[in-house]
Amino acid sequence: MSGPNTKFHKTPANFEERFEMAPNNEIEATQSHWLRQAKADLLQRDPVDAVNDAEALVVFAQKRLAALLPEDSN
């Protein structure tokens, strides 16, 4: 008779392994190549640095969008 844990799969030790094993992971085929590559690259980086850079990119993109959109005529 086998022990209680033998019917379960080995739990991956790190996030990257768990992420790749997820049935519907966050790297979707319908996303742009740029975004898929950025997500894959993010897995190789320090998570704190990655979040800081992502937040800076959001601010940059928002400012760019605001500069490109016409001002309200109110």
Per-residue pLDDT tens digits for 15-48: 666 665 554 556 677 889 998 899 889 989 999 9
Taking the C-alpha atoms of residue 37 and residue 40, their distance in angstroms, rounded to an integer, is 5
Query: What pLDDT is attached to residue 18?
Result: 61
CB 32 within 8 A of CB 25: no
pLDDT at 1 over 50: no
- Show the tokens assigned to 12: 């991956």
Q: pTM above 0.85?
A: no
Inter-CA distances, 62 with 40, 52, 56, Å: 23, 16, 10
Domain boundaries, the chain: 15-68
CA 24 to chain centre: 13
